[in-house]
Amino acid sequence: MLVVALAPNFDDPGEEVLEALRAELRCLGAALLLIGTDHSFCFRPDDELVEEPSTDELRLWAAQLFRAQGVESEALTPETLLLGLLDDGGSLRWHTRRELDGDPSLALLEAARLAAKSALAPAPIGVLSRREVVLTSLIGALSLVLLEGCKRSEPQRPAPSASAVSSLAPAPFEREVTLNVNDKDYRLSIEPRVSVLDALRERLGLTGTKKGCDHGQCGACTVLLDGRRVNACLLLAVMVGKRKLTTIEGLAGPAELHPLQEAFVAHDALQCGYCTPGQIVSALGLLREKRATSAEAIREHMSGNLCRCGAYPNIVKAIEAARDAGGDALPARAT
């Protein structure tokens, strides 16, 4: 599967949009070929972004592709984005057209989202694969590097959906809440049983807060609630109210790390890294409690944070170093 987009020139879409695009492309199992006036991107979600000059041949190929579906790309204004889903039959299965009146990256993302949704519907019975032909024409048009990216795609038609998606199932207790995370308000509609941890990880994409046990026994999910450390797995999101949550994502400044993060790097206070965000946020809570008075005290008051790799001695050293460097400050943020 290949997502082909014809558009005027794109600037760098930015990491946030790229990350969201990756999610859509992973769902499709597809690469995105974005053909701009001057530059083309080949973007596979788990590989490097490859940028190449757009060639006439490439644009011609794309124009033919859309023409076969009755869309004349030449007739479009330069402010139009044309995005199609190219299946392994070598034909466009689906396409959409959007006018670029706002941020072109967002329009691209929106189109990709529609494409991914469309692919989840049962697919028509396809013809035999002609993807080799398609790829060959790509090969002619793109550089060697780009080719390698696309060769891996092994495009295939997605499996038909086995059962109807019951996402419209009633959710009688669902309600709107606003969570303030790292000084930013997030509105979401959730059932009362959703924990802060699952809200952060599964709904807000803030996966820095880890799930190590889901029962308050490991500390990997430690966040600050109004500046005090708590287990996000034991806290229902509906109960947070106006209180402020601070997660690992909120510690570093735009350029520099928080002193605790610096100290963890310097003292190799991590190995696999999975308990690390919880250790750091818990350590911040500890420093704010002013109880990190000795190595012994740190060990006692950090015992709610398990580390299976056994980085404990280095974690204690890192906390001592951060304490001595005045690392108890909450991150200062522009409001």
Report 305-334 residues binding another protein (CB under 8 A).
Answer: 305-316
Q: With residue 189 as reference, give the H or E element that holds it.
A: strand 184-190
Stretch that binds another protein, among 62-70, 71-79, 262-270, 327-335 (CB under 8 A): 262-270
Number of residues that bind another protein (CB under 8 A): 121
| Gap between the Cα atoms of 271 and 307, Å rounded | 9
170 binds another protein (CB under 8 A): yes
Give the residue, chosen from 55, 91, 96, 271, that forms a contact with another protein under the rule CB under 8 A. 271
Nearest to 148 by CA among 156, 139, 140: 139
90 binds another protein (CB under 8 A): no
Half-sphere exposure of residue 98, counting CA atoms within 13 Å on the CB side? 24
Nearer CB in complex with another protein: 135/298: 298
Give the residue, chosen from 36, 84, 104, 212, that forms a contact with another protein under the rule CB under 8 A. 212
What residues between 4 and 23 interact with another protein by CB under 8 A?
19-20, 22-23
DSSP H helices, the chain, are: 15-28, 56-67, 104-120, 131-141, 144-151, 196-198, 259-266, 276-289, 295-301, 312-324
| Shortest reach from residue 150's CB to another protein, in Å | 13
Nearer CB in complex with another protein: 96/207: 207
| Shortest reach from residue 19's CB to another protein, in Å | 6
Nearer CB in complex with another protein: 11/300: 300
Q: With residue 6 as reference, give the H or E element that holds it.
A: strand 2-6
C-beta atoms surrounding 295 within 10 Å: 13
| DSSP for residue 179 | E
217 binds another protein (CB under 8 A): yes
| Shortest reach from residue 173's CB to another protein, in Å | 5
Residue 330, helix vs strand vs coil: coil
261 binds another protein (CB under 8 A): yes
225 binds another protein (CB under 8 A): yes
Q: Could you tell me how many helices (H) and strands (E) the chain has, helices first?
A: 10, 11
| Shortest reach from residue 233's CB to another protein, in Å | 8
Supply the angle between the helices 312-324 and 259-266 in degrees, to the nearest 10: 140
Mask for 113-152, x = binds another protein (CB under 8 A)? x--xx--x----------------------xxx------x
Residue 55, both tokens: 């060639």
